[in-house]
Structure formats: C-alpha cells, structure tokens
Structure 1
Amino acid sequence: MKKWIKLISLISVLFIMSCTNDKKVRPDTPENLSLLASLAINNQDYETLKSYFTETRKETINSEYFANLKEIKSNGAEFRTYSYIRINGKSLLLEIIKDQDTKTYKIQNIMVVPKELEGLFNTPNGK
C-alpha cells in the first residue's frame, strides 16, 4: 500500500509540475518590448523601463523625463512597429505588421519622413 501511495504522490507531483506554465513575456520581439515598456510606464517602474534601453542610451531617460511619462496611461494602447531606413539621404518609415496566417512580417505602409522631422531619428554618435 505504501508503494502505491508513493507512486501516486510521485505521479501527482510530476503532473502538477508539467501543468505549470512558466511563460513570461520577454523583450525578444519589438511587440513584446513595446508591451513591457507600456507596462513599466503604467506601473511607474522607472528601473525596469530603463533596463530596456541600450547601454549607450540608458542615461537619456532620467527621473524627470520618466515623471512626465507617468501621466500617460496605456489603457487601450495601440502598438505599431516601424522600421527606419535611410537611403541616398532620404528617410523612410516602414510600418510593419505580423501576418497571423503565415507568421511572417509584412510591410503595411511606407512613409517618406519630411526633412524637418529627420532629427527625431538621429541619435548622438550614431548609436
């Protein structure tokens, strides 16, 4: 009888362990990173938001800048993914979507960035 109890206990533990789903959202896609950033802003989690920046750009977000972000709530947020391309001195923005049927990314729209707005995409030292 003790063998059966031990066997059932072992099977139960293995079953419970196999049922736990430890899937966490990681910043491994642009969509996931956007979601995590919006959650950090909503939760007023300055350190987490800062952790999503590249090492060379972490210092660009200070506590004062973050305080301004606190007023933005991402309830009902809309997420879009863009890719910036510079070709022969012209800047383009590609709006990229994920095709749910093929699980590949497709271009939704291409926009020419006006010269007066190109500065938004320039970073110090090209980083």
Structure 2
Amino acid sequence: MKYIKLLVLICVFFVVMVGCSSNKVQPDSTENVAWLMKLAIENDDYEAFDSLFSEGRKGSVSRTDFSEFTNLTTAGANYKKYELVTFENGEMLLVRLTPENEDNKYEIEDVIVVPEEMKVLFKD
C-alpha cells in the first residue's frame, strides 16, 4: 500500500510539473517568426505583430494595413523558404529551398530570375 501511495504521489508530481511548464514558441527560427506573425494577425494583436520586426523597422506596417491582413488569413497556411541572391550588376535570383531534411540540409527546388519590375520589392 505504501508503494502505491508513493507511485500516485510521483505521478501527481509529474503531471503538475509538466502541466505547469511554459514552452512558449520563441522567434528563434524563420518558421517560428512566420508562425507567430500569422498568430498575431489571427488574434488581431498589433503589438505582438510589431514586436517581431527588427528595431529599425518597428511601426513600418500601419495599424490600418495590419487590419487588412486579418481579411487575408485562413486556418491553413503553407510556409516556403526563399533566398534572394543579388549580384553587383543589380541582377537578382530568387531561390526556393526545400524544408530542412533528415540530414539537416536544404536543397534547391527552383531558381527564377527576378523580373526588372519586381526588383523594387526587394530593395532596402
């Protein structure tokens, strides 16, 4: 009987410890930042959204623009990884990468030349 009480006590302790842990998603990867952005939009939380921007860019999206984002979101979302390669001559390549594989590697899925009229989107 003593062992059963001890076992129950250990189980209760374990449940309390696991249930009280705070495993909040942190903006420590590109996936997490994108997910936190989507969550902030869905929750109409401009402050959380704005906190994800770099110091020099905070406030760069107005509350009005942010409100329009809420009309765009759906429950499902697809996240892709892209890298932009800009050459000294101004030409740009947009590279779509695979998700990280089991070997902790990324691979190229597609490469496109960025059209001249779209380059303005990528300028600082």
Aligned residue in 2 for 1:76: 76
> 1:35 aligns to what SS in structure 2?
helix
Q: Could you list the runs of 5+ residues in structure 1 that have no partner in the other structure?
A: none
Q: Is the 8 A contact 1:94 1:108 kept in 2?
A: yes
Shift of 1:18: 5.1
Q: Cα deviations across residues 64-106 of structure 1 (Å, max 9, x unaligned)?
A: 1112112112322111111111013211111122233223222
Q: Which has the higher strand share?
A: 1
The alignment's TM-score, normalised by the length of structure 1, stands at: 0.78
CA distance in structure 1 between the aligned counterparts of 2:49 and 2:30, rounded to whole angstroms: 14
Which residue identity is paired with 2:114? V
CA distance in structure 2 between the aligned counterparts of 1:118 and 1:112, rounded to whole angstroms: 10
% identical equivalent positions: 33
Shift of 1:49: 0.6
Residue-pair matches, total: 121
Aligned residue in 1 for 2:92: 91
Kindly report structure 1 stretches of 4+ aligned residues shifted beyond 6 Å.
7-10
Which residue identity is paired with 1:73? T
Shift of 1:8: 6.4
Which residue identity is paired with 2:42? N
Aligned residue in 2 for 1:30: 30
Aligned residue in 2 for 1:40: 40
Aligned residue in 1 for 2:18: 19
Q: Is the 8 A contact 1:94 1:111 kept in 2?
A: yes
Q: Is the 8 A contact 2:81 2:99 kept in 1?
A: no
> 2:33 aligns to what SS in structure 1?
helix
Asked which structure has the greater RCO (Cα within 8 Å, sep 6+), the reply is 1
Q: Could you list the runs of 5+ residues in structure 2 that have no partner in the other structure?
A: none
Measured at CA, do residues 58 and 112 of structure 1 come closer, stay the same or move farther in structure 2, by a change above 3 Å?
same
CA distance in structure 1 between the aligned counterparts of 2:101 and 2:30, rounded to whole angstroms: 16
Aligned residue in 1 for 2:57: 57
